């Protein structure tokens, strides 16, 4: 791991395994609270260096890093697939997206600015001039998940450095290798040695030390609602961005293009074996087209045979852990025991789980109510748009949602009334351009990602008045 401007090894190690066959890929050190203390102390020094660096110089470092990452794109894509389990085409896509995210972050380093404030329009404000400036937070902690081990790290590290902060990365225990390789790239590009730290080990052991340290002025976390709530309780008075879970709904109205709706369901419901926060999970279908939709969906889902993600043409890899596949399978069979119908799939072998469609799902079933994070969709019929919107909002989550319709009134009602931070008309719930504002409502979190918006989250606003 990388702490205090040097690469650090320890006798205690964690094994990083291939999620398909369990083979050992590499090992990483297991950090402890003393390592976190050393990383924070180093990051405080690094933050002073970054604060004094001009935005132009920060831009050039990040731009060089983006070029270096592009040169190593295939290597990074393969590493992502090995440690996470997504198919190689998805690993390569993530690596290319990370280049775009870092490039966008570099550009945002040149766009940090304030505005004038018309204080002379206020009583007693005559002959005064006021303006705002944005300054770095200082030290940013980036706590990242397993499902996008490079690009979700980049969405935190890129803006943090662009804004003039130092950053401490705590990557997911299952997938630390991409983050460590990213540190190599940033250092090669000329980033000051103490501007970044990367500590490896379990969040349960390191999270408290990171969250409670008052020298860390900003925490950006992507992960589960339960862990996010715990971090917020521990964090105290500091800025936080929480990108948490969801169980995204997709509404298919009676006038929908069913072929396109099925295509979007396959893409947005089963990518990365369903292990995406924006995955389409709850498919709400107008009763008039319900049977036709299921007839079209079944053969397309059956093409998604799980297997070795490194093989050319592989459509779906394993889940991150066998325990997750067991949980997904249990929730499917609980729904079937409760009266739902298995359209296709439902089988499991180790961490591999078949792409599954469950129909006739009641909204109170776990496969609909909780965050599944697996390769299955829960299909529920409805009769009118009012009922569809009510079902879509009947959740503690609010990250993404989609609707298929040609009716502009229905589309606008969906946009205004569905409680989600990312809304898609004539597509599923899962689509993200890395430059767009991204974040959820309700239990799906607070704050926004996307380089421009993350830079705002990772800076402080000062008001200046000349008298």
Angle at which helices 55-71 and 88-109 pack, to 10 degrees? Answer: 160
DSSP state of 280: E
φ, ψ of residue 219 to 5 degrees: the values are -120, 130
Here the tokens at position 189 are 């590009």
pLDDT, position 312: 86
pLDDT, position 313: 85
Question: How large is the average pLDDT for residues 25-44?
Answer: 97
Question: How large is the average pLDDT for residues 127-149?
Answer: 98
Res. 440 pLDDT band, cuts 50 70 90? very high
Q: Report which of 22, 87, 21, 149 is spatially closest to residue 306, judged by C-alpha positions.
A: 87
Q: Express each pLDDT in 301-332 by its tens digit.
A: 999 999 999 998 899 999 999 999 999 999 99
Q: Express each pLDDT in 337-389 by its tens digit.
A: 999 999 999 999 999 999 999 999 999 999 999 999 999 999 999 999 999 99
- Residues involved in catalysis: 243, 277
pLDDT, position 214: 97
Convert 285-305 into a string of H (helix), E (strand) and C (coil): EECCCHHHHHHHHHHHHCCCC
User: DSSP states of 320-383 as a string?
Assistant: S-HHHHHHHHHHHHHHHHTT-EEEE---EETTEE--EEEES--TTSHHHHS---SSEEEEEEES
Q: Express each pLDDT in 449-461 by its tens digit.
A: 999 999 999 999 9
Percent of the chain with pLDDT over 90: 99
Is pLDDT above 90 for 239?
yes
Convert 426-458 into a string of H (helix), E (strand) and C (coil): CCCCCCCCCCCCECCCHHHEECCECHHHHHHHC
Residues facing 196 on adjacent strands: 167
Distance of CA 67 to the CA centre of its chain: 23
Compute the C-alpha angle 447/223/158, nearest 5°.
60
Residue 250: strand, helix, or coil? strand
Within 20-71, residue ranges assigned H as helices are 33-52, 55-71
pLDDT, position 366: 98
Q: Report which of 425, 414, 412 is spatially closest to residue 390, judged by C-alpha positions.
A: 414
Residue 404: strand, helix, or coil? strand
The mean of the pLDDT values for the chain is 97
- Is residue 297 within 8 Å of residue 262, measured between CB atoms? yes
Question: How large is the average pLDDT for residues 100-112?
Answer: 98
pLDDT, position 116: 98
Is pLDDT above 90 for 294?
yes
- Is residue 278 within 8 Å of residue 268, measured between CB atoms? yes
What's the farthest any 2 CA atoms get from each other in the chain?
75
Pick one of 3.40.50.1000, 1.10.10.10, 3.30.390.30, 3.40.309.10 as the CATH number of 248-425: 3.40.309.10
Domains of the chain, by residue range, sit at: 2-244+441-466, 248-425
Res. 398 pLDDT band, cuts 50 70 90? very high
Q: Express each pLDDT in 63-89 by its tens digit.
A: 999 999 999 999 999 999 999 999 999
How many C-alpha atoms does 46 have within 13 Å on its Cβ side?
27
- CATH, domain range 2-244+441-466: 3.40.605.10
The pTM is what?
A: 0.96
* Cα four-point dihedral sign 193, 27, 354, 225: negative
Q: Express each pLDDT in 210-234 by its tens digit.
A: 999 999 999 999 999 999 999 999 9
């Amino acid at each position: 791991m990388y702490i205090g401007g040097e690469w650090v090894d320890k006798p205690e190690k964690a094994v990083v395994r291939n999620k398909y066959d369990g083979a050992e890929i590499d090992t990483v050190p297991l950090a402890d609270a003393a390592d976190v203390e050393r990383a924070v102390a180093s990051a405080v020094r690094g933050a002073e260096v970054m604060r004094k660096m001009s935005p132009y110089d920060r831009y050039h470092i990040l731009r060089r890093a983006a070029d270096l990452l592009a040169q190593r794109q295939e290597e990074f894509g393969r590493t992502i697939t090995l440690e996470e389990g997504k198919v190689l085409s998805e690993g390569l896509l993530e690596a290319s997206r990370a280049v775009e995210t870092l490039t966008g972050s570099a550009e945002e380093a040149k766009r940090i600015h304030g505005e004038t404030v018309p204080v002379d329009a206020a009583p007693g404000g005559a002959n005064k001039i006021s303006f705002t400036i944005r300054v770095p937070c200082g030290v940013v902690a980036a706590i990242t998940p397993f499902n996008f081990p490079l690009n979700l790290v980049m969405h935190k590290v890129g803006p943090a450095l662009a804004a003039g902060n130092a950053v401490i990365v705590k990557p997911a225990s299952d997938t630390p290798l991409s983050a460590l390789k990213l540190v190599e790239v940033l250092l090669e590009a000329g980033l000051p040695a103490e501007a970044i730290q990367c500590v490896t080990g379990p969040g349960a052991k390191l999270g408290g030390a990171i969250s409670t340290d008052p020298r860390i002025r900003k925490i950006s976390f992507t992960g589960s609602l339960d862990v996010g709530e715990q971090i917020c309780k521990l964090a105290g008075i500091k800025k936080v961005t929480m990108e948490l879970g969801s169980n995204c709904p997709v509404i298919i109205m009676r006038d929908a293009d069913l072929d396109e709706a099925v295509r979007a369901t396959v893409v947005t419901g089963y990518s990365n074996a369903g292990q995406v926060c924006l995955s389409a999970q709850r498919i709400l279908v107008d009763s008039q087209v319900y049977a036709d939709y299921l007839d079209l969906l079944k053969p397309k889902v059956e093409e998604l045979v799980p297997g070795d993600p490194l093989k050319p043409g592989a459509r779906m890899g394993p889940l991150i852990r066998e325990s997750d596949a067991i949980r997904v399978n249990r929730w499917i069979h609980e729904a079937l025991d409760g009266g739902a119908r298995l359209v296709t799939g439902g089988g499991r072998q180790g961490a591999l789980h078949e792409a599954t469609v469950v129909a006739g799902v009641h909204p109170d079933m776990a496969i609909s109510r909780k965050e599944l994070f697996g390769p299955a969709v829960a299909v529920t019929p409805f009769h009118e748009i009012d009922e569809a919107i009510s079902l879509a909002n009947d959740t503690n989550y609010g990250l993404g949602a989609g609707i298929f319709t040609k009716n502009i009134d229905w589309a606008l009602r969906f946009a205004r009334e569905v409680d989600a931070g990312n809304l898609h008309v004539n597509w599923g719930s899962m689509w993200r351009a890395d430059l767009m504002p991204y974040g959820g409502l309700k239990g799906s979190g607070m704050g926004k990602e996307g380089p421009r918006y993350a830079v705002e989250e990772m800076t402080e606003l000062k008001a200046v008045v000349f008298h």
